[in-house]
Structure 1
Amino acid sequence: MRLITAFLRLVRWPNLLFIILTQVMFEYCVLQPIFRHAGIHNNIQGVYFLLICFSYVLMGAAGYIINDYFDLNIDLVNKPGKVIVAKIIKRRWVLVWHIILNFLAIACNIYVDLHTSSKIAGITSFVCVILLFFYSTTLKKKFLIGNVVVAAITAWSIIVLTWLEGSRFFQLYHRAANLDFEKIFRLTVLYTGFAFIISLIREVVKDMEDVEGDRRYGCKTMPIVWGTMATKVFVSVWFTVLIAVLIAIQFYVMHFGWWISIVYTVVLIITPLIKAFRLLFPARTPEDYHRLSSLIKLVMLTGILSMVFFLLYS
C-alpha cells in the first residue's frame, strides 16, 4: 500500500485528473454540442476519444516521473520531506515506468491514427514525450523556456481535440453547412489561451517557490536571472491581461443573456484571480508562494468547469 501511495504521489494523480476533466469537458460540453447541432457525429467519439484522453494521462504521468528523477538533488533541498525517488521507489524502476507509460501513450495515439481519418495523433504525442523529457533534463533550468514548454503542452491537450476533428472539417464542409467552424475556432482559442496563460503564471510562481534549490544547482530560472521583484512584475502583467480579457468576455456574453455563466465567472474565476494578484507582491516565503500556486490551481479548476455552460446554453 505504501508503494502504491508513493507511486500515485509520484505521478501527481490530482494533476492527472485535471487532464481527464479538461479533455472530457471540452469534448462533451464544447465540441459535441456544436457537431450535434449540425447533425454530425464526432470523429473521435467513444473508444477513440477515451484512448486520446488515456494517452495524455499516461504522458503526464511519465513526465512527472522523469521530472522527479532528474530533480532528485534539487528536491532534497526544496522539499526533502516529499522526495519519493530513491527513497521509496528505486531510480531504475522510475526509469522503467517512464518508458512503459510513454510507450503505451504513443501506442494509443498510433491506434487512433490507424482507425480514424486523423494522422497527427501519433506524431504529436511523440513530440510531447520528447519535449517533456528535455524539459526535465535541461529546459526547466533555462530562462522562461521550460515554463513556456509546460504551458504549451497544457494548452495542446485542448487543441489536439479540435485538431483531430480538423482532419474531417474540409471533408465535411460540402455537406455540413450548419457546422459552425468559427465557433469551434473561437472556443478553442478561448480555452487554449486561458490554459496557456494560467499555466505560465503558475509555473513562474513555482519557480519563485523553488528558488533556493534551483540556485544551488545552477538553474537559470526567471527569479534567479531577473530577481524576484522583476519576476513578480512579469507575472502581474499576465494576471492583468487574463483578468482584462475575462472581464471583456463577460460584457460580450451579456448580449446573449448568459447571466448564470457571468455570475459564475466573476465569482469563481475573476475574483480569485484578483485575490491571487493581490497576494503576489506581499509573498516572501516558499509557503507564501505555495499558497499562491494552490489558489491559481483552483482557478484552473473553475476555468475548466466553466465549459459546462456551453452545454447548458447550446
Structure 2
Amino acid sequence: MKDFLKLIRIENLVMIALMQIIVRYTFLNFAGLIHGFSDLNYALLIIATICIAAAGYIINDIYDVEVDYINKPDRVYVRKTISEKMAFNWYFALNIIGVGIGVYLSNQVNRSAVAAIFVICSALLYVYSNGLKQIPLVGNAIIAFLASTSIIVIILFNIFPYMFGFNNDQMTNMMHFLLQYAVMAFLINFAREMVKTIENYEGDQACGISTSATYFGINPTKILISLTLAGLLGFLIYFIYNNLFHLTYVIMYFLVAIFTPILFVIIKLIQAKEKSDFSFISKLLKVIMLTMMFSITAIVLLSN
C-alpha cells in the first residue's frame, strides 16, 4: 500500500484536493455560489479529479521505468514492488471511475458536454506518457495545462451551469477570477516541469529522450524558466492591480508569500549547477504553489 501511494503521488493528490476544498469553502462560499452544487457532488468532483490525476501518474511511471532507474532509482515501483499488469489494472480502473463520476455530475447539472473535460484529460495524460512528453516544451505545456484543469473543472461544474440572466455579471466576474488562478497555475507548473527536465537531464540523455534540457541545453532551458517566472510575476502584478488594489493586507501577503519567493527562485536558478540545486528549486516551486493556493483564503479573510 505504501508503494502504491507513492506511485500515485499521494502528496500531489492531496494538494489538488486541498486546492479544490479551499476554493469551495472560502471563495465560492464567500461569493454565495455553493447552493446549486451540493457538498456530496463536490466531494465526487474532487474524487473524479484525483482519480484522473492518479491514473496519469501511473501510466507515466509505466512508460518511464527504464529512465527512472537512472534518474530516481529509489523511486521506481512498477516492476519492482508493483507488477506492470497490476499498474495497468489500476490505471484503467481509476480512469473509469474518474470519467464515470464526471458523466454522472454533468447530468446532475444538466450540462452533459462538460464531462468531456475528464475524457480529454485522461486522453492527454496517455498520449503525453506515450510520446508527447518527448516533444520539448509541448510536453511541459500539456502537464501545466492539466494542472490548471483542477481549477477549470470547478468553473465548469460550479459556475457555468448556474449562469442566468439575473446573475450573469456576478458569475462572469467569478469565472474570470478563477480563470486568472488557472493561468497562474499553468505558468508555475510549466516552469516547474522545465526545472524537472534539467533535474532528470542525465537519465533522459542516456536513454535518448528529448526534453527541454536535452534538446535546447541546460542554460537555454534556465533562460526559458526565468522568462516564464518573469511572466508569472508580470501576471501577478496585473492580477493584483485588477482585483486587489484596495486590499493592502492581501497585497502584502502576495508580496511576502508569492512575489518574493519567485524572485528568490529566479536568483537560485541563475546560480544552480548541480542536480541537487534543481531539486531544491523544484521543491521550492511546490511550496509557492501552496502559498498561491492559500492566497484565495487570504483574499476572503483579509477583505472582510
TM-score (normalised: structure 2): 0.94
- Is 1:111–2:104 an aligned residue pair? yes
| 8 A contact 1:10–1:64 mirrored in 2 | yes
Cα distance in 1 for residues equivalent to 2:255 and 2:34: 34
Counterpart of 1:286 in structure 2: which amino acid? K
Cα distance in 2 for residues equivalent to 1:297 and 1:278: 17
| 8 A contact 1:117–1:168 mirrored in 2 | no
Higher mean C-alpha displacement, 137-146 vs 180-189: 180-189
| 8 A contact 1:142–1:220 mirrored in 2 | yes
What is the aligned residue count?
A: 302
Cα distance in 2 for residues equivalent to 1:274 and 1:262: 16
Give the superposition deviation at 1:255: 4.1
- Gap regions ≥5 residues in structure 1: none
CA distance 1:272–1:238, shift in 2 (3 Å)? same
RMSD over aligned Cα atoms: 1.7
Residue 72 (structure 1) aligns with: 65
| 8 A contact 2:114–2:156 mirrored in 1 | no
- Is 1:12–2:5 an aligned residue pair? no
Cα distance in 1 for residues equivalent to 2:203 and 2:10: 24
Residue 244 (structure 1) aligned to one of 234, 242, 254: 234
SS of the residue 2:278 aligns to: helix
Cα distance in 2 for residues equivalent to 1:58 and 1:151: 18
Cα distance in 1 for residues equivalent to 2:39 and 2:212: 43
CA distance 1:121–1:248, shift in 2 (3 Å)? closer
Counterpart of 1:20 in structure 2: which amino acid? A
- Is 1:60–2:53 an aligned residue pair? yes
TM-score (normalised: structure 1): 0.91
CA distance 1:232–1:182, shift in 2 (3 Å)? same
**Greater relative contact order, per chain length (Cα 8 Å cut-off, separation 6+):** 1
Cα distance in 2 for residues equivalent to 1:55 and 1:47: 12
Give identity over the alignment, percent. Answer: 28
Residue 168 (structure 1) aligns with: 162
Counterpart of 2:250 in structure 1: which amino acid? S
Residue 285 (structure 1) aligned to one of 257, 262, 274: 274
Residue 207 (structure 1) aligned to one of 182, 186, 197: 197
Counterpart of 1:152 in structure 2: which amino acid? F
Alpha-carbon displacement from aligned partner over 1:136-179 (angstroms, at most 9, x marks no partner): 1111111111111111111111112112221231xx21x337x5
SS of the residue 1:218 aligns to: coil
CA distance 1:250–1:125, shift in 2 (3 Å)? closer
Residue 45 (structure 1) aligns with: 38
| 8 A contact 2:124–2:142 mirrored in 1 | yes
Residue 287 (structure 2) aligned to one of 280, 298, 301: 298
Residue 251 (structure 2) aligns with: 262
